[in-house]
């Protein structure tokens, strides 16, 4: 065993508490990165299973490039391609089941029975399979039948665009083609009627001739069909997947922040180790240890902690993902009506990132102190062991810090540009970290004045303890800064987002009644309703103006986008958009004139689209030019990139006439409860909708947000935890490093209580400095985040009072908690042993 390894191991083992505390920082960071990223792919995978169906089980899958429906005749073109053995059309659609059903959603699959059996391997368990002429019958998997409580001959009721329809179960399949997706097989004709797309299909699937060059066949199919079709995988609803991927990025950032905090904690620990072991290192150098041997001792030590911390972090992350997924499933069921089984998925990328960052941050945190250690001269061994003395300030770095702060101010408050503000926030945070050592003394003296009121001697000692090691105090304060700044910023951002959403609800859904899909997402599993329902609503006594939203899917510049159809005359009468500057209600009327569109904030921000531009939209009927006449956002679609066109254009270019959302006003003087009761009777046959009056709806939204808040709080709480770790680590180090000094204080008459008080006061002072930094950083970060988000969802800036209060409470509570063990240890020290402590 090499000397470096032996010494490193012995030092680690000899200081178990410190090793544990430092390693805990690594464990925490890795846990967040690995766990959160393990949870999200699981959710994405669940979406895939739900929405992309059995695409993976066939050789070939053809969909419309605009993600819409297409004519079934396309299947013949596929069949004629050399290398394709069989092809079959299908119409797939996730359908939300009525409230009270054992399943929230089912996947309706319309098939052509004869050709489908040539492509898919259906294992009939009982009853019979579908025949070509079958109508009003379905075949389902045994697991789905079990969940829905159905047997052969049972009736299954499914919502359709023309009211609910009943189907008889004639066969049970032994294998569900995609686990977790409850598939209901029926004739293509029945499925077309059910979703309002007669004669249309969503997918053509094929099986290749055995042994052919798959890529070559795919390429031939592509040539035969042209650019209107996607060959290969399905891409349905990928906007949602994109949203989840943005979420995944944010989660990674949380983890990275946590690891940076871990890095500060490690840096602190190793700096202290070096200062404590100067004598040992000097002696080792005197008796012939090379510089690289000394460097090796510290690097091996950090490597061991990195390996240990990363391994335990991976384990803890796995637990976190499992816990979070189990907590999320019921929320998904309620909020989005998605009935899925989510399992954590740990991708090779996640493993790699977690391991590289875990190990990397630990080694990086140790490298500067390790290099300092290697430069210690043998003469250090000759000097008597000194108590901790003040470390040298880093004047140049502090100067760089002040410069960064000065540069950040105009970027933050003058440019008004999202990227510049983001850059300003980052510079501000880095600047604060660099100037921290210079601010430790004045801030600590300021807080010490408060403490002097209760205990003058203790306040004096703790303040001087902090200020003689400004580097260590600054690193701790920086860890607290990052941790609490994120807390303040996120709480501020959430407050702004919620304020914005409630204002959207008032505007976008300002009608007296609103009938919305159960899942709050107007696409996806929602089948909607045809014009008959709208006519019936309009004809209901007491109902005034009625407007609807319709939904199509298209592509602009190869990017998928929701195309929402509105009636330019009726929509402004019952609801309103939130308009970005330069756009007004008059622009909605423009939608009735030619091919014009409004784009929402997200779409405009993501694609840099501005008013007056003409966009080429891929539609099922080819490319169409649409002119952008305004930027406006409605509540339900605020979270997805969307565009708005007239319902007439949606019908002629996209063939969509189904209404997915209905808004209605009551006539003046009509009784809201009475009108609602009439409408409820009408909606009984359309269980895919939930009817609210506007007050109920707002209440339900508040409830939904409140249901999600605990998850945010848990996440935010986890981000504040490193504050506790940083303080605990620093105080433990501080007490160990000053053992002799504490012994001396006890020897000259300090009571155990005074020693305890000194450590607690030091913790509170450090927290005071860290909380001040955290609030300043959080305000700037929150401002930048709100500004960036505002480009997508216009929202008011809400000053984060709650965030500041949370930061103060958590900072000082953690300070008291962190001081518990070290202060007791310090107070319990035996005077003689402490005086001889090395």
Partner 1 sequence: MAIVEAKQLTKVYGSGETAVTALDHVDLSVAPGEFVAVMGPSGCGKSTLMNLLGGLDTPTEGSISIDGKEVAGMTDEELTKLRRRRFGFVFQFFNLIPVLTAIENAALPLTLDGMSEAEARAKAADWLAKVGLSDRMKNRPDQLSGGQQQRVAVARALVTDPALVLADEPTGNLDSRSSEEIAGLLKTASDEWGRAILMVTHDPRIAAHAHRIVFMEDGRIIDDTQIAGSDDARKAMEKVGLL
List contacts with partner 1 (CB under 8 A): 1, 3, 6-7, 10-11, 13-14, 279-280, 282-291, 293, 377-379, 381-382, 384-385, 838
CB of 339 to partner 1, least distance (A): 58
Would you state the structure tokens that stand for residue 608, as one six-digit string? 């840099």
Closest to partner 1 by CB, 276 or 762: 276
> How many secondary structure helices (H) and strands (E) does the chain include?
26, 22
CB of 386 to partner 1, least distance (A): 11
DSSP secondary structure, 399-455, as one string: HHHHHHHHHHHHHHHTS--HHHHHHHHHHHHHHHHHHHHHHHHHHHHHHHHHHHTT-
Q: Which helix (H) or strand (E) holds 655?
A: none
Cα gap 87→156, rounded to integer Å: 29
Residues 496, 498, 499, 503, CA torsion sign: positive
Would you state the structure tokens that stand for residue 494, as one six-digit string? 């959430």
Give the start-end residues of each E strand in 174-278.
Answer: 183-187, 200-201, 203-208, 229-231
The 8-class DSSP code of residue 791 comes to: T
Q: Are 137 and 168 a contacting pair, CB within 8 Å?
A: yes
Cα gap 404→397, rounded to integer Å: 10
Q: Which residue, chain included where needed, has tokens 């510079």?
A: 427
The 8-class DSSP code of residue 204 comes to: E
Q: Are 322 and 37 a contacting pair, CB within 8 Å?
A: no
Q: Are 229 and 622 a contacting pair, CB within 8 Å?
A: no
Q: Which helix (H) or strand (E) holds 617?
A: strand 614-619
DSSP secondary structure, 548-570, as one string: EEEEEEEEETTEEEEEEEE-TTT
Q: Which helix (H) or strand (E) holds 111?
A: strand 105-111
Q: Are 542 and 725 a contacting pair, CB within 8 Å?
A: no
Closest to partner 1 by CB, 8 or 588: 8
Cα gap 113→800, rounded to integer Å: 60
Q: Are 795 and 472 a contacting pair, CB within 8 Å?
A: no
Q: Are 466 and 440 a contacting pair, CB within 8 Å?
A: yes
Closest to partner 1 by CB, 282 or 552: 282
CB of 730 to partner 1, least distance (A): 22
Would you state the structure tokens that stand for residue 421, as one six-digit string? 């503000």
CB of 735 to partner 1, least distance (A): 17
Would you state the structure tokens that stand for residue 161, as one six-digit string? 């665009």
Please report, in angstroms and rounded to a whole number, the separation of the first and last CA atoms in the chain.
26
CA atoms within 13 A on the CB side of 248: 21
Q: Which helix (H) or strand (E) holds 666?
A: strand 659-666
Closest to partner 1 by CB, 382 or 457: 382
CB of 391 to partner 1, least distance (A): 22
Cα gap 400→579, rounded to integer Å: 42
Can you tell me whether residue 289 is helix, strand or coil? Answer: coil
Can you tell me whether residue 312 is helix, strand or coil? Answer: helix
Q: Which helix (H) or strand (E) holds 626?
A: strand 622-633
Would you state the structure tokens that stand for residue 522, as one six-digit string? 């107007």
The 8-class DSSP code of residue 338 comes to: -
Cα gap 608→589, rounded to integer Å: 24
Can you tell me whether residue 717 is helix, strand or coil? Answer: helix
Cα gap 760→755, rounded to integer Å: 9
Can you tell me whether residue 578 is helix, strand or coil? Answer: strand
The 8-class DSSP code of residue 723 comes to: H
Give the start-end residues of each E strand in 196-336.
Answer: 200-201, 203-208, 229-231
Q: Are 675 and 681 a contacting pair, CB within 8 Å?
A: no
Q: Are strands 183-187 and 614-619 parallel, antiparallel or unpaired?
A: unpaired
Torsion of CA 337, 339, 344, 347, to 10 degrees: -80
Q: CB neighbours (10 Å) of residue 10?
A: 12
């Amino acid at each position: 065993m090499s000397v470096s390894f032996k010494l490193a191991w012995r030092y680690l083992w000899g200081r178990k508490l410190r090793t544990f505390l430092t390693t805990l920082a690594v464990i925490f960071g890795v846990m967040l990165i690995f766990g959160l990223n393990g949870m999200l792919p699981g959710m994405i995978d669940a979406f895939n299973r739900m929405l992309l169906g059995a695409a993976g089980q066939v050789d070939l899958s053809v969909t419309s490039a605009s993600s819409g429906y297409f004519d079934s005749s396309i299947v013949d073109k596929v069949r004629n391609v050399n290398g394709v053995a069989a092809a079959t059309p299908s119409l797939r659609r996730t359908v939300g089941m009525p409230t009270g059903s054992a399943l929230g959603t089912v996947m309706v699959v319309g098939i052509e029975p004869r050709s489908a059996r040539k492509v898919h391997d259906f294992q009939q368990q009982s009853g019979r399979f579908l025949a070509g002429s079958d109508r009003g019958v379905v075949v389902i998997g045994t697991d789905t039948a079990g969940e829905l409580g159905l047997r052969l001959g049972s009736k299954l009721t499914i919502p359709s665009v023309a009211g609910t329809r009943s189907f008889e179960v004639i066969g049970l399949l032994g294998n569900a083609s995609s686990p977790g997706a409850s598939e209901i097989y029926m004739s293509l004709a029945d499925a077309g009627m059910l979703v309002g797309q007669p004669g249309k299909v969503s997918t053509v699937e094929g099986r290749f001739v055995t042994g052919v060059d798959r890529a070559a066949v795919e390429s031939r199919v592509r040539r035969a069909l042209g650019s209107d079709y996607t060959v290969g995988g399905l891409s349905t609803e990928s906007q949602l997947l994109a949203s989840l991927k943005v979420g995944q990025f944010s989660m990674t950032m949380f983890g990275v922040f946590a690891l940076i905090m871990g890095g500060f904690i490690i840096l602190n620990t190793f700096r202290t180790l070096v200062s404590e072991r100067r004598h040992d290192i000097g002696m080792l150098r005197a008796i012939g240890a090379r510089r690289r041997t000394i460097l090796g001792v510290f690097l091996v030590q950090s490597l061991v902690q990195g390996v240990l911390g990363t391994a335990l972090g991976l384990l803890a992350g796995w637990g976190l993902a499992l816990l979070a997924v189990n907590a999320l499933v019921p929320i998904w069921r309620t909020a989005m009506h998605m009935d899925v089984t989510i399992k954590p998925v740990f991708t090779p990328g996640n493993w790699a990132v977690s391991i590289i960052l875990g190990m990397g941050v630990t080694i990086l945190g140790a490298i500067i102190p390790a290099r300092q250690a290697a430069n210690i001269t043998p003469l250090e061994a000759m000097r008597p062991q000194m108590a901790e003395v003040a470390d040298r300030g880093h004047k140049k770095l502090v100067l760089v810090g002040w410069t960064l702060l000065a540069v950040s101010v105009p970027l933050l408050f003058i440019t008004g540009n999202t990227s510049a503000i983001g850059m300003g926030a980052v510079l501000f945070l880095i600047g604060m970290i660099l100037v921290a050592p210079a601010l430790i003394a004045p801030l600590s003296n300021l807080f010490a004045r408060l403490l002097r009121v209760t205990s003058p001697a203790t306040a004096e000692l703790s303040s001087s303890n902090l200020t003689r090691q400004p580097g260590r105090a600054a690193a701790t304060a920086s860890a607290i800064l990052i941790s609490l700044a994120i807390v303040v910023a996120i709480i501020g951002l959430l407050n702004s987002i919620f304020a914005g959403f409630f204002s959207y609800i008032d505007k976008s859904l300002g009608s007296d009644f609103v009938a919305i899909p159960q899942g709050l997402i107007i696409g996806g599993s929602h089948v909607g309703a045809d014009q008959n329902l709208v006519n019936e609503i309009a004809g209901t006594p007491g109902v005034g103006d009625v407007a609807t939203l319709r939904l199509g899917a298209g592509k602009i510049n190869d990017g998928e986008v929701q195309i929402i159809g509105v009636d330019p005359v009726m929509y402004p009468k019952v609801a309103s958009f939130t308009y970005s500057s330069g756009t007004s209600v008059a622009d909605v009327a423009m939608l009735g004139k030619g091919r014009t569109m409004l784009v929402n904030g997200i779409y405009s921000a993501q694609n840099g689209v501005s008013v007056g531009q003409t966009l080429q939209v891929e539609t099922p009927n080819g490319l169409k030019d649409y002119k952008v006449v305004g930027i406006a956002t409605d509540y339900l679609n605020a979270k997805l990139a969307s565009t708005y066109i007239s319902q007439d254009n949606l019908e002629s270019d996209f063939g969509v006439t189904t209404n997915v959302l209905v808004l209605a006003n009551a006539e003046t003087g009509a009784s809201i409860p009475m009108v609602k009761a009439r409408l409820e009777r009408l909606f009984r046959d359309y269980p895919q909708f939930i009817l609210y009056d506007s007050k109920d709806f707002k209440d339900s939204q508040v409830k939904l947000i409140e249901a999600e808040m605990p998850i945010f709080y848990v996440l935010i709480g986890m981000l504040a935890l490193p504050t506790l770790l940083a303080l605990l680590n620093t105080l433990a180090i501080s007490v160990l490093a000053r053992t002799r000094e504490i012994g001396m204080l006890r020897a000259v008459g300090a009571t155990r209580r005074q020693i305890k008080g000194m450590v607690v006061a030091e913790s509170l002072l450090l927290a005071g400095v860290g909380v001040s930094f955290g609030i300043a950083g959080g305000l700037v970060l929150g401002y930048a985040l709100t500004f960036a988000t505002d480009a997508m969802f216009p929202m008011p800036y809400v000053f984060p009072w709650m965030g500041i209060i949370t930061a103060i409470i958590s900072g000082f509570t953690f300070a008291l908690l962190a001081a518990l063990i070290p202060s007791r240890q310090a107070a319990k020290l035996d005077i003689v042993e402490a005086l001889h402590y090395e």
